[in-house]
Amino acid sequence: MLDPERGLSLTIARVVQRLQGSSLHSQLERQARVNLHKPEIKLESLKEDIKDFLKTSGWEKKLQNAVYSELNVFPSPCHPAAPPEHIKEPLAYMRKAQGSWEKRILKSLNSMCTELNIPLAQKRPANEQKELLNKWNEMGTDEPDLSLFRPVYAPKDFLEVLMNLRNPNYENGEQPSFRNHLGLIQVPLKVKDIPELKEDFSELGLNIGQLGIDDSAQVPPEFFENEHVRVGQKVLAEQDSAAAQQYVRQGCPTALRADLWALILNISNQPEDILYYEQLKSNVIQHNLLVDSLIYKDVKLTASNDDYYFVFEDYLYQVLLCFSRDTSVLEHFTYSSATPPKSYIQGKLGMEEYAVFYPPNGVIPFHGFSMYVAPLCFLYHEPSKLYQIFREMYVRFFFRLHSISSHPSGIVSLCLLFETLLQTHLPQLFYHLREIGAQPLRISFKWMVRAFSGYLATDQLLLLWDRILGYNSLEILAVLAAAVFAFRAVNLMEVTSLAAAEAVLADLSTLKVMPLLQIFLFATVT
């Protein structure tokens, strides 16, 4: 807790510090220097003239976008007395729970290494390097024997951990009381109720035009769509991240989505970014990691079996293998409750100068991880751009879906929000499902962990992710999960087992996301 003035100056200091090392900084400097020689720059008003030049030439906009992106990604600074772990996660028991969950993952990975007698990482022999380079664009044709590998964990295992999460300072009596939640999540986090959500998501209201809804009764939908496309083109022409973020709250026209998302995420795919991607690629070629096999296995188990995504198999390998080597991903651990696994170079155990992170990006993939990338393949065909968009989506959003934290977009809050919404709005349904042993969260958890990727039809999924980007929050996932239950409430009231309830909700590919969200948030009497 800081007074606003001091918080602001801390934020400014941080943004300045971060931008100083960026390539944007050197570009600005170069532009300013080149401009010094122009005749219209006067020595008397040097500073003002240069400022004017940067404004008119569009560089100021780029700087604005960079600042906006920093503000979106990094949490607002807390008190300077707060130690770094407090920034990662303010609640001590959550930090502890995340720590022991990580330890479990490490143990599982280590025992896999020992059982299969393979190292975590080693250099590829020269001939293998060459071979891999040759088939870089068709890695999917490779059929290595991965029967011995198993995913390190699946969403199901993670849910078990979240169910057992308790605050030691909370009255967790043996007897059920008003203090116990009826759902699976037992931590007393603050989640929003419908009036608060209505206010937050006001742009999704009934009398505001939405892409993804055909209310063609009186007004032809083209009316809104054409106007919306026109505005979208204007936003793109302005190259303003903040405007783009506001715009996508009403949905992106398909033709503009790729560019608008890139603008919001501040990804421009400059030559140096392409170079960086090539560097990652050569790192993949040089070293063979155990996580590569986990990635292969995951793609084969998930995306390759998906009607929409199997065509992107090769893209997925490229992006995910490069991702695992990207040390810039480590930066997100400053604001994530997770900590990257550590190891030592072979034979140098315990020597700090030989300590390394494993994998180099610090992220161990789990069952379904590749589904975070798959939908993006519809939007970006250039691997380096696809890669950057995915990395940015991961460090802004997706990491929160598989780490234990109290953040409002963290998976624990999402689970609790889902359970609370369902319980308040459909108490009978909630009670019924609970009584037959089909706790709703057991069904919806996997949807939320994957941000619905692989469950919804692609066009619907992209409309949903539009809103994630637009509101810079994952809370919409929990709202949608509750809305799906509400939509199927009549059928669910008739089931008598978990399996039957799962069957009712097995196929979400026919659902229309936006009408469901609208009805649940705005058309239900509360």
Partner 1 sequence: MSGAAGPGPPAGPGRSPLPCAPRPAAPLQLAGGAEPARPGVAVIDLRFPRGAAADVQEIVFRNFYTAFLSVRVQRPGPGGSRRWMTCLRDLCLMPCPHTEEGSQDYFCLHRHQMLCDVDQVTAMRFILRQPSPVWLHFTIEDLQIFPPGQKSPQKDFPSWLSQLTPPEQPASLHGELPDPEKVSTEVQQMWVLTEVIRARQAAARIGRFDVDGCYDVNLLSYT
Closest CA to 147 of 40, 277, 296, 271: 296
Closest CA to 413 of 337, 487, 329: 337
**Hey, which residues between 75 and 134 contact partner 1 (CB under 8 A)?**
77-84, 86-87, 90-92, 103, 106-107, 109-110, 113-114, 119-123
Residues of span 355-374 touching partner 1 by CB under 8 A: 355-358, 360
Q: How far is the CB of 280 from partner 1 (least distance, A)?
A: 8
By C-beta, is 58 or 119 nearer to partner 1?
119
Q: Residue 30 corresponds to which tokens in the numbers above?
A: 């170069």
Burial 172-209 (b: 16+ CB within 10 A, else e): eeeeeeeeeeebbbbbebebbebeebeebbebbeeeeb
Return d(Cα 265, Cα 355) in angstroms, integer.
32
Q: Which stretch binds partner 1 (CB under 8 A): 59-67, 134-142, 162-170, 258-266?
A: 162-170
Considering only residues 285 through 304, tell me which ones interact with partner 1, judged by CB under 8 A.
287
Residue with tokens 């999924």: 461
In the range 226-285, which residues lie near partner 1 by CB under 8 A? 276, 279-280, 283
- One-letter amino acid of 435: E
Q: Which is nearer to partner 1, 120 or 495 (CB)?
A: 120
As a whole number of angstroms, the distance between CA 344 and CA 349 comes to: 5
Q: How far is the CB of 41 from partner 1 (least distance, A)?
A: 11
Query: What span, in angstroms and rounded, lies between the C-alpha atoms of 211 and 463?
Result: 8
Give the span between the Cα atoms of 414 and 448, in whole angstroms. 8
How far is the C-alpha of 10 from the C-alpha of 78, rounded, in Å? Answer: 9
CA distance 19 to 428: 53
Give the contact letters, 5-34, x = binds to partner 1 (CB under 8 A), - = no: ----xx-xxx-xx--xx-------------
- Smallest distance, Å, CB 144 to partner 1? 20
Minimum distance between the CB of residue 420 and partner 1, rounded to whole angstroms? 11
Element (H, E) at 100: helix 92-116
The residue range among 39-47, 246-254, 490-498, 505-513 that interacts with partner 1, by the rule CB under 8 A, is 39-47
Q: Which CB sits closer to partner 1, 121 or 252? A: 121
Number of residues that bind partner 1 (CB under 8 A): 79
Q: How many CA atoms within 13 Å lie on the side-chain side of 445?
A: 22
- The correct pick among 27, 72, 167, 254 for binding partner 1 (CB under 8 A) is 167
Binding string, 313-352, against partner 1, x = CB under 8 A? ------------xxxx-----xx-----xxxxxx--x---
Q: Round to whole Å and give the CA distance between 239 and 244.
A: 8
Could you give the CA distance from residue 134 to residue 45 in angstroms, rounded to a whole number?
57
Name the residue nearer to partner 1 (CB basis): 143 or 168.
168
46 forms part of the interface with partner 1 (CB under 8 A)? yes
* Smallest separation, CB 341 to partner 1 (Å): 5
362 — phi, psi (to 5°)?
A: 80, 5
Which residues 54-73 are close enough to bind partner 1 by CB under 8 A?
A: none
Site for partner 1 in 383-442 (CB under 8 A): 406
